[in-house]
């Protein structure tokens, strides 16, 4: 005899657990299936984000930056800090404690909202039935009025650099180093590669990022990308563009393993570099292995993503899919909001999601953040626009904090003045870009933002001044004459 629910969610990452909690809040009998195990072999929620992604990487980023600040930047404030050392195992242990606290928090939220947590694997069968197999191998058939697929994504592996979990690692392995590698290679200079490269660079590793693309951060506004590249290079990251890795060879030298990486440079010449560790960060792909029975009725697109419409409904009635396993940017907050939307639509509400206003952040220091369209995108579309740029070097609060690198860039429609995008490299960029995202959601113009009163002294004044600069009205810099 099968157990029946109103909603079954497969996957408890940021998309899945949020969907489950919201569905339960709306009075729907909800179960959430999760296959992730912690190091003790116990089922835990949170998916990649909480266990080996967003949260642990930020813990290491913050720890490594505090070390770097104490070692290199305290002097400008008149603070002497001699003999500063890093205890890598303690740093890793702190990261693990944070992960444990947050994953345990989801378990508590499930209990508080009466979500049934099931630990094991879930496979969608025909007719909205789910085959659930727990960690002991016991099988059970569950039924639901609605099934939400939130199985997430996994790192892309490349044949020329097979991950061995020791010398060649993926993003998960890069969170577990027991010591700082003297020489660290990173294949890929995207979001994950830059963040992980920054962690170990701050701690003393010589980091080389090998990026196949010709442009740095090609998906970002290129004015911001070029400034970010300049800043990160100054910090010590060796970023090499147009470099394609063609092979790797793990070898032993002096009783210690290392990896020799062969690649072609931008001139097409073959080059070799030797590293103590190599991180493979060339992207992520949707994870659907074992998720769908052949007769489930759910279709995949040509890239392996589950096909959904704008409301995250799949080709099978009553089956939905959200998060990294569907189209769109692989961002935890995008998946979470899709989870809310789907839960509310199942409950009969008419909730929709605005995919045009999803912030994107790279947590280097300074941070890099964007929302809306880039200048390159608008040029390609033939759209007329105005741009306002304001540097943090002209902001008193930024100078006081010794955070003067970078700028805020706001793009507005030439005729309507409606804000079309905001791109920031600088201190607290992740938080500042959200201010503009809120303004964009309500259809604000650059003039609207410029008329608002911003607290002084704050970093957010750079947003205010950039909005004023759209029309050449910035106060704390000389404005360029408009043509």
Active site positions, annotated: 456
Cα dihedral 157, 296, 339, 3, rounded to 10, equals -120
DSSP state of 157: P
- CA 148/CA 295 separation, integer angstroms: 17
CA-nearest of 76, 80, 79, 78 to 402 is: 76
- CA 20/CA 405 separation, integer angstroms: 42
The DSSP string of 164-190 is -SSSEE-TTGGG--SS--SEEEEE--S
Q: Which residue has the tokens 């004023």?
A: 468
Query: b or e along 47-76 (b: 16 or more beta carbons within 10 Å of the residue's beta carbon)?
Result: bbbbbbbbbbbebbbbbbbebbbebeeeee
CB of 288 within 8 A of CB of 296? no
CA-nearest of 255, 261, 254, 292 to 275 is: 261
Helices (H) and strands (E) in the chain, counts: 12, 21
- CA 73/CA 80 separation, integer angstroms: 10
């Amino acid at each position: 005899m099968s157990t029946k629910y109103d909603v079954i969610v497969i996957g408890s990452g940021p998309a899945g657990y949020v969907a489950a909690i919201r569905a339960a809040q709306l009075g729907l009998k909800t179960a959430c299936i999760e296959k992730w195990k912690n190091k003790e072999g116990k089922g835990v929620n949170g998916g990649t984000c909480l266990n080996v992604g967003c949260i642990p990487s930020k813990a290491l980023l913050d720890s490594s930056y505090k070390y770097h600040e104490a070692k290199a930047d305290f002097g400008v404030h008149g603070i002497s800090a001699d003999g500063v050392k890093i205890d890598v195992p303690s740093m890793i242990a702190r990261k693990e404690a944070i992960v444990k606290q947050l994953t345990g928090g989801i378990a508590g939220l499930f209990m508080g909202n009466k979500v049934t947590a099931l630990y094991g694997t879930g496979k969608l069968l025909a007719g909205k039935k789910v085959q659930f197999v727990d960690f002991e191998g016991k099988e059970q058939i569950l039924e639901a009025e609605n099934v939400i697929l939130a199985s997430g994504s996994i790192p892309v592996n490349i044949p020329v650099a097979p991950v061995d979990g020791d010398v060649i690692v993926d993003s998960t392995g890069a969170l577990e180093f027991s010591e700082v590698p003297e020489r660290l290679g990173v294949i890929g200079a995207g979001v994950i590669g830059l963040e992980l490269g920054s962690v170990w660079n701050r701690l003393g590793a010589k980091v080389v990022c090998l990026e196949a693309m010709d442009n740095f951060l090609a998906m970002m506004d290129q004015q911001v990308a070029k400034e970010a590249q300049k800043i990160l290079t100054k910090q010590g990251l060796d970023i090499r563009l147009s470099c394609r890795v063609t092979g790797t060879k793990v070898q032993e030298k002096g009783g210690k393993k290392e990896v020799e990486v062969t690649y072609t440079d931008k001139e097409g010449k073959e080059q070799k570099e030797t590293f103590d560790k190599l991180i493979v960060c060339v992207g992520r792909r949707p994870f659907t292995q074992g998720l769908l029975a052949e007769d489930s009725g759910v279709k995949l697109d040509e890239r392996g993503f589950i096909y959904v419409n704008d409301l995250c409904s799949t080709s099978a009635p009553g089956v939905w899919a959200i998060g990294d396993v569907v189209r769109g940017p692989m961002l935890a907050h995008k998946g979470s909001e899709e989870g809310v939307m789907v839960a509310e639509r199942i409950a009969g509400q008419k909730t929709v999601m605005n995919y045009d206003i999803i912030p994107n952040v790279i947590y280097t220091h300074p941070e890099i953040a964007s929302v809306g369209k880039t200048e390159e995108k608008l040029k390609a579309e033939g759209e007329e626009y105005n741009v306002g740029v304001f540097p943090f070097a002209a902001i008193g609060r930024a100078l006081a904090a010794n955070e003067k690198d970078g700028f805020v860039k706001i793009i507005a429609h030439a005729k309507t003045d409606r804000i079309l995008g905001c791109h920031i490299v600088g201190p607290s960029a992740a938080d500042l870009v959200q201010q503009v995202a809120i303004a964009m959601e309500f259809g604000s113009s650059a003039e609207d933002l410029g008329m608002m009163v911003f607290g002084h002294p704050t970093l957010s004044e750079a947003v205010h001044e950039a909005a004023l600069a759209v029309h050449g009205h910035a106060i704390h810099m000389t404005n360029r004459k408009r043509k």
